[in-house]
Every structure is written in C-alpha cells, then in structure tokens.
Amino acid sequence: MAYISGEGRSQGTLFPVVLDDLVGSEHVCRVIDAFVEGLAMAELEFERAEAAETGRPGYDPRDLLKLYLYGYLHQLRSSRRLEAECRRNVELMWLLGRLYPDHKSIAEFRRLHREAVTSAGAELVRFAQSVGLIRGEWIAVDGSKFRAAASIGSVRERQALEKYLDSCEKADEESQAVIDPAAVQAALEKLRQHPEPEARMMRMAGSFAPAYNVQTAVDAEHALIVAHEVTLDAADNRCLEPMAEAAHKALGQPATFNIVADAGYSNGQQAGRCETAGLIPHVPANRAINNQGDGTLFDRSQFRYQPESDTFLCPAGKTVQRKQLHRKDRTVYYQANAADCGACAMKPCCTKSPQRMLSRHMDDDALNRMHQRATPELMRLRRSTVEHPFGTLKYCIFGHPRLLLRGLSGAKTEIGIAVMAYNLKRMINVFGSSRLTRALTQV
C-alpha cells in the first residue's frame, strides 16, 4: 500500500495568479480589511495618515494596524514574529498587498499610537451599537491582573531602593544621622534607569508578581467590551464610578443605564455619585462583620438605625449614641453606655467588651440601595457576561497573560489592540464574517 505523495519540488505548477482566490469570503482578513479601510485615520490622530509630499515614503498606518489586528487574533504579538509572518503567510500577503515591513517599523507603530488605537477601538464600539450588537442597558464591570514585562527581582529591587531613599529622607531630619551621599546618588541613578517604574506587585494566582489591573465594562447583550482601562491600583473599590462613566460616554450616554459588579466594587461614595448621574449600580455591599467571640455575637444588622436622632437601637431596646467621626474612612462610630451593657441580660450574645461599639458608613444609604438591587439573578448575569472576555483575552488572544511592552503606556497600548481584536472576534461569532464585512463596507 503506497503513501499519499506530494508533488516534486522541481515540478512547475500553476499557483493562483490572483491572490484573492486564496482568501475565502468568510475569512477574518476580509473583516479586518473592511474595518480598517473605513476608519478616518487622520481624525483618529494616526501619524502619517496622509502621505507626505516630500521625503522617503513610509508605511500606511492602515496596513500596520491590519497587521497587528491579524497578529493578536492569532497570538502573534512580537514584532519579529510578525515580520517573519509577512514573508511566509499567504493571508498576510493578501491583507498587506505583499508588503514586508521590518520589525523596527512594526514595533515603532505600536509604541507611538496608544491614543489612536484607543480611538479606533471606540469607533468599533460605536459601529457595533449602530448595528444592534450592543444594547447599552446592562453593563457588567470587572477587573483582572495582567503580568507586567518586568521581572519580580527587578521590581523588588526598585521597591527596596525606594524604601532606602525614604529612610534617608526621614533620617535627614535628625541631626545625628549620617548619610552617604554616594550611596544615595547611586540609588537615584538605579531608579532612573529602571525600565518599568510603574509596575506594582499584585496578587496573581495565589502569589505576588509585577502586574497591572485591567478594568473592563462589558455589554450584557453579546458580551462586547465597551470600555476598558489599565490602572496601577490593585483593588477594584475605586473603579466603579470611573468605569461607569467611561462606558456611559462610550455608548452615547443612554437614558437607561445599569451597572452590575461584584462586592469588590462596593464604594458608597461613588455609588451615590453614580445614582445622581443616572447610572444605577447593582453591587453587593462589602461590610465588616463582628468577628469577636465564636461567631454567635449579634451582627450590626440586628441594631436598628434611627436617622432622626442619628443613633442605633440595640436588641434590648437601649440607645447606642454617636461617639466620633473619622473623615478619612468616611465612618461614624457609635458607643453604647457601659452601665446599660453591664446590666443587660443579652450582653453575652452581644459583646465581650465592657460596652458595644458600632460603625456606620457616611454613605450607608447608598450602600443599602445598591445592595438591595444586587439580586442573585443579576449576579449570575454579571458572571456570564464579564468573566469569559478575560479568559478569551488572556488565553486566546495573548496566549499567556503577560504583556510585552513596558510601562503603563505600553500596557494600555497592548490592551487596546487586544480589546479591539476580541470585539472583532466576538462580532464575527455573532454576526458572521460575510454579513459583518458587508455592514462595515456600507458605513
């Protein structure tokens, strides 16, 4: 039995004369080409959007944007790998018209166009909304950590240098302190030379590593990302209002706008401001619990707040008076009378201290309202909407969730291209390549 045999290498062949015959009508390259060709590159502030009349001709930014979108859709993010693909990949030959840009030109385009890439992604979101792929009524917000390019050792060394310089500054205030100017100068020089000064150590998969916190706002209709941001804050509780406003603006400020997030976004002050702006948050309140004793002591929910007197009524019917205000924490503390607690038969179920203490957030009313709106059905909607885009970004587009570009600006550029690639991929799955290509060419 013979094997299936190929053709001889020296045999002449009639390779298709028209390159277009090698790219099917349903191919993703046709979607990328239609989308990029429809962009107003000059208005989006891409450099060389219009060819210069003098000097050496440069590459059209449309071609390089097409190259990056194709690359991120196929887990090709390195400029050198993209350069190699241009010379051997028939699909890229069709997409770029047989152009072979060098890796320096490819890398420089990505480095220079962070704002322009973000603007191009916003154009794609507006198009998706115009064809009904985005409804804009329910938006789910979440964050995830993406590993920075910097190594763990370099970031720890930078943090140690920063700590050393802080200690020198404090010691300088003491007359007896002896500071070595040469050591201080060497530390400052090392800090200036650090390639990624913004990266912070964040918890990732049970350990700490240099990372950035990527925030996304995802429409519940077809799980398209309508807004994103890269932050240096490891926590999410200061991101509710900024992400709600960014998503609201990206969708043209619709009248009905609901934000769904997990308890990590619990922030009464921001929730109150969102409500004032017409952005309705549905977020479980993240409250402290009474962790004293064996867990059977009365929780704060068993004390009734009396707004007319700004006091609490305890389960035994005694009044818990306001004690002090911490403006930094936006928290009001209340304290029961020691005599009342000492004579109370319910004290063993309430506190182990001489008197019971309570705390109430200054924005407690806003926290209560958003907590009541966060029903189990909406929490299931949140999980099914906002979590799978991060999985796609990390393992289907990035290949592994580690950034190539250094610094906050580089991270924003990479995430901007990746989000645009994700939205294209999602729109193709929902709409179909041919239908999407026709819609893009008609815009």
Least confident of 103-112, 175-184, 330-339, 356-365: 175-184
CA distances for 211 relative to 48, 232, 240, angstroms: 33, 8, 20
Strands 331-336 and 138-147: unpaired
Rounded CA Rg of the chain? 29
Task: Give the confidence band of 18 by pLDDT, cuts at 50, 70, 90.
Answer: confident
Residue-wise pLDDT for 409-440, tens only, equals 999 999 999 999 999 999 999 999 999 999 99
Q: Residues 6 or more apart from 220 whose CB is under 8 A from it?
A: 135, 137, 138, 139, 140, 260, 381, 385
Burial class (CB in 10 A: 0-12, 13-18, 19+), 11: exposed
* Structure-token pair, residue 263: 């308890």
Q: Identify the pLDDT of residue 178.
A: 65
Q: Identify the pLDDT of residue 49.
A: 80
Inter-residue contact 58 to 48 (CB < 8 Å): yes
Of 221, 286, 240, 266, nearest in space to 141 by CA: 240
Q: Identify the pLDDT of residue 44.
A: 94
* Single-letter code of the amino acid located at 15: F
Question: Which pTM value belongs to this model?
Answer: 0.88
Q: Angle CA(100)–CA(104)–CA(110) in degrees, nearest 5?
A: 95
Task: Give the confidence band of 194 by pLDDT, cuts at 50, 70, 90.
Answer: confident
Whole-number average pLDDT of the chain: 90
Q: Identify the pLDDT of residue 289.
A: 67
What's phi and psi for 287, nearest 5 deg? -110, 155
Share of the chain above pLDDT 90, in %: 65
Averaged pLDDT for residues 88-112: 95
Inter-residue contact 411 to 146 (CB < 8 Å): yes
402: DSSP letter? B
Q: Identify the pLDDT of residue 404.
A: 94
Q: Identify the pLDDT of residue 177.
A: 62
